[in-house]
Amino acid sequence: MRKIYRKLISLVIFLIVTFGIMIPLYVHYTARQFTGAYDTLLLSKYSPYDTILIEVHYQDGAEPYAESLSTLKEKVANYTGKNVILVKYPDLKDFEISGAVGDDGVRVFGDRILQNHTQYHSDWLSGRMVIYLIFTNSNWEGNANFSAAGITYNADSIIIFKDIVKSQEIETPVLLHEIGHLWGLEHSNKTDDIMNVHIDEYLLSHVFNKLPDDFSDEERKMLLEKHDSWLIFPMKPYEALYSAALNRQSTMG
């Protein structure tokens, strides 16, 4: 009997170590590299994280609009059901900022900024997840087919280009669009969707009416499904593998 008890105790210790150390390490060092990987960790009511802290850093002349941040905070609280804290730091110096940011340099640029200025980190034990917003005067020099008002990279980081976002009316949907990517939403071609992919066409389609400051009914439905989901483990790093497996199963069927 003693041997059985010892084995059970060893198993319990192993599970505690696995769930208490290995999973948080996976979440914060592996899954973080994939945009959308934190979707249900941020949205689900079953997530171990009950607080979302939005940490904002901005360059002189690129300060975000207070109304936009207020709307963002409100929507994050509404869709996640979590306590939301927002902090701002006007700490980005001109010499730190690249004149232009392209596809290949987004992560390098953003991570360098955060490495020098991060005040808070996501923390498994305290139940806090951090979303980072960087507002810069840099120009976007990425894909030539569209202008980028914002870029989402990693599972928790967003860069906003203020040379395109020149009004609060534009900034609010842009912020919600980028948060939508963190929540795992894909681009849309529908003119009333926050996740519309083409900002120029999006603005043109709303010349005579106000830009949306919330997600569409279809987008809200997807967010609600994630809010009610038990599936909170970040599977994004293995998306290609299980997509291939599902496609194979479908083909074989």
Q: What is the pLDDT of residue 203?
A: 74
The domain limits of the chain are 37-233
Calculate mean pLDDT across residues 73-99: 93
Question: How does pLDDT run across 29-67, given as a tens digit for each residue?
Answer: 889 999 999 999 999 999 999 999 999 999 999 999 999
What single letter denotes the amino acid at residue 63?
Answer: E
b/e per residue 40-55 (b: at least 16 CB within 10 A): bbbbbeebebebbbbb
Structure pTM? 0.87
Residue 249 pLDDT greater than 60, yes or no: no
Average pLDDT, whole number, for the chain? Answer: 85
Question: How does pLDDT run across 192-231, given as a tens digit for each residue?
Answer: 889 987 777 777 777 677 888 899 999 999 999 999 999 9
> Alpha-carbon distance 203 to 212, whole Å?
10
According to the CATH classification, is domain 37-233 in 3.40.50.620? no
Calculate mean pLDDT across residues 75-98: 94
